[in-house]
Amino acid sequence: MYEGVHARPDGESTVARLAATAADYGFEGIVVRNHGDAQTSYDSGGIADEYGVDVVEGIEIRSDDVGQASGLVGNYRSKRTVVCVHGGSLNRFAVEQSQVDVLAHPMRNGDVNHVLAKAAVENDVRLEFNFARVLRADGGPRVKAIRRLRKLRELVEQYDAPYVVSADPRSHLQLRSPRELAAVGSVLGFGPEEVTDGLREWKRLVDRNRSRRSDSVVAPGVRIERDVDTDWEESK
Q: Are 215 and 229 in contact (CB under 8 A)?
A: no
| Residue 38 predicted with pLDDT over 90 | yes
> Would you kindly state where each structural domain of the chain is located, as residue ranges?
58-165+176-234
pLDDT tens-digit profile of 143-157? 999 999 999 999 999
Mean pLDDT of 47-64: 97
Confidence (pLDDT) at 192: 77
Alpha helices in the chain (DSSP H): 15-24, 44-51, 66-76, 91-95, 114-123, 132-136, 139-159, 178-187, 192-215, 228-234
| Residue 53 predicted with pLDDT over 60 | yes
| Residue 220 predicted with pLDDT over 60 | no
Architecture of domain 58-165+176-234: Alpha-Beta Barrel (3.20)
Count of CB atoms within 10 A of residue 97's CB? Answer: 23
pLDDT tens-digit profile of 166-210? 999 999 999 999 999 999 999 999 987 999 999 999 999 999 999
Q: What is the pTM for the complete model shown?
A: 0.90
pLDDT band (50, 70, 90) for residue 121: very high
